[in-house]
Amino acid sequence: MKPWELFDEIKRTEYTKSGDCVDWAVKVYPEEKLVRLLFEESSDDRDWKNNFDFPIKPYKQQENILWFARGWGNAYKSCNDEIMAKLIETYTDELKAQGYTVEVCGWSYGGAMAVLAAEDFNYRTGNKPEIVTFGAPKPLWGRKTWHYINTCVEYAVQYAHVNDVVPLCIPLPGYRMVNKVKVGKGFCILKLFNAEKYHCMYGDKSLYV
């Protein structure tokens, strides 16, 4: 599935809402030999409260402590067991034997959830998923956390339009994405105020070719 097709897939998927208003879905794609865990963008007021709750906290007390923006970390932890149970149940030994892999995807707020979920899946199963996000914010804090996440995944591609303000958030020192891939042209500070346009155009094929 091409990036613009995947973005449209994220937009049109029907989601389960769990915990602290996290919208997610697990789907199997036989033609690609993929099991995808998809996360939706912010869908209600509670999501926005989490978006602005950005003081850092350790998500897990382990050898490699995962430092994450508090609002997104708390939101994911509110339903992580339910999400992982469904993903692990779907990603059967039979599918593994057939060469299926796991890809964790999200748009906007869902991109932050995708990063945490990818680490969680690796932590629970030892399998390294792939990450693909669109217009995701910077949920990680610190270089050590960034290095740790990279050991948990096969690869990460986080598409960010040059005029999309969301990938610039959280605009404080230390916050990071896993692997930012810029798309689009013609950066202009004034365009950053037009999130309705630039945050929603990842389905445009011309951005990727």
Tens digit of pLDDT at every position of the chain (209 positions)? 999 999 999 999 999 999 888 999 999 999 999 999 999 986 655 444 545 566 677 776 666 678 888 888 889 999 999 999 999 999 999 999 999 999 999 999 999 999 999 999 999 999 999 999 999 999 899 999 999 999 999 999 999 999 999 999 888 889 999 999 999 999 999 998 898 899 999 999 999 98
Give the model's pLDDT for residue 31: 96
Give the model's pLDDT for residue 50: 47
Give the model's pLDDT for residue 49: 59
Backbone angles phi, psi at 179, to 5 degrees: -155, 95
Walk me through the domains of the chain, giving residue ranges and CATH numbers: 3-204 (3.40.50.1820)
Beta strand pairing call for 180-183 and 155-161: parallel
Q: How far apart are CA 13 and CA 10, in angstroms?
A: 6
Give the model's pLDDT for residue 47: 43
Residue pair 47/76 in contact by the 8 Å Cβ criterion: no
Its pTM stands at: 0.92
Strands of the sheet with 56-58, listed across from one edge: 56-58, 67-69, 140-141, 175-176
Q: Is 177 exposed, middle or buried (0-12, 13-18, 19+ CB in 10 A)?
A: buried
Q: What is the pLDDT of residues 53-96, one digit of tens each?
A: 666 777 766 666 788 888 888 899 999 999 999 999 999 999 99
